[in-house]
Structure 1
Amino acid sequence: MKKNLYLFVSMLTLLFVSCASTNNSNNKALFGNTWELDYLSGPRIAFEGLFPDKKPKITFNKTTNKVEGNNSCNGYSADYTLNGDEISFGEPGPTTMMFCGEGEKFFLNTIKKINKYKIDSDGKLNLMIGDVPMMRFKKIADKQ
């Protein structure tokens, strides 16, 4: 009986440690990269129609807990909070006020609703609402 209890506790501990290391490796992969949007769920306008000239890009700053980049037209900066695979974004800071169509508005409205993230087996960053991927980003560069 004592041996079975020891085995059960050991396996439970191993399970918790392996789950924690997965979250840490996902967290590490967020940083030091620039991510470019390549999929957006929901709009009735085609992706290329929303972002004809420039796709949104984001970079996660671990030191300041800010996400920075552009929303296809104007600069973008907001606070973010990570807790395991949960993520939330604050209100974006001041930006230039150029109008560039519906893509920017859809991007900003969607990112406010995001509550989870996952980096998939292809190395793409999925920002999700629950378990539904709403935005997918590909890594385009490592920041130096």
Structure 2
Amino acid sequence: MKTIIFVMLFSVSALTACNMRKHDQSAQKLTGQWELNYITGPRIAFNGLYPNAKPIINFKENPEEINGNTSCNGFSCKLTIDGNKMTIAEPGPMTMRYCEGGGEKVFLDMLKKVNAYEVKENTLTMLQGDLPLMRFTKK
């Protein structure tokens, strides 16, 4: 009986460790700085939304928060990652400069809709279900 309990506990521990390793590897792909190169929704040209600079997102090695720039104002948000699922909370306090092009609002609105992601080579795609909302290039 003790042997069966030991085997079961060992199996659960091994599976948990494998799952944690899978989660860590998935999140590690995000580490670094990413620059926006595509956003869905607006009928304005991408360069019209972001005439001076493109939004940037920074992920740390074990991300619980992201930070970056909306194209003119700095921001940070709480982040939850589970496998390829991603939840981004409302941004905390931000700088409040006037931004040309209207892209800041579009970018922040899209961040709230993200519920998944995928990373292929140097491209991060943030998704809502299967629909790509934003695409970033690793810098």
1:23 offset after TM fit, Å? 5.5
Contact 1:54 1:72 in 2 (8 A): yes
For the pair 1:89 / 2:88, whether they are aligned, the reply is yes
Contact 1:26 1:118 in 2 (8 A): no
Q: Deviations over 1:41-88 (max 9, x none)?
A: 111101000001000001113456110010101001000000111001
Q: Which secondary structure does the structure 2 equivalent of 1:80 belong to?
A: strand
Residue correspondence of structure 1 range 55-94 to structure 2 within 5 A = 55-63=54-62, 65-94=64-93
Normalised by the length of structure 2, the TM-score is 0.79
Contact 2:24 2:62 in 1 (8 A): no
d(CA) in 1 for partners of 2:89 and 2:111? 9
Normalised by the length of structure 1, the TM-score is 0.77
Percent pairwise identity = 43
d(CA) in 2 for partners of 1:20 and 1:92? 27
Structure 2: gaps of 5 or more residues: 1-17
Matched with 1:134 is 133
Q: How many residues align?
A: 121
d(CA) in 1 for partners of 2:35 and 2:130? 21
Residue correspondence of structure 1 range 5-20 to structure 2 within 5 A = none
1:90 offset after TM fit, Å? 0.6
d(CA) in 2 for partners of 1:25 and 1:53? 34
Structure 1: gaps of 5 or more residues: 1-16
Contact 1:34 1:59 in 2 (8 A): yes
Matched with 1:115 is 115
Contact 1:59 1:67 in 2 (8 A): yes
d(CA) in 1 for partners of 2:128 and 2:74? 24
For the pair 1:30 / 2:39, whether they are aligned, the reply is no
Q: Deviations over 1:92-132 (max 9, x none)?
A: 01111112131000000010010000002x42000000011
Partner amino acid for 2:112?
K
Partner amino acid for 1:39?
Y
d(CA) in 1 for partners of 2:24 and 2:127? 18
Misfit runs of 4+, over 6 Å: 19-22
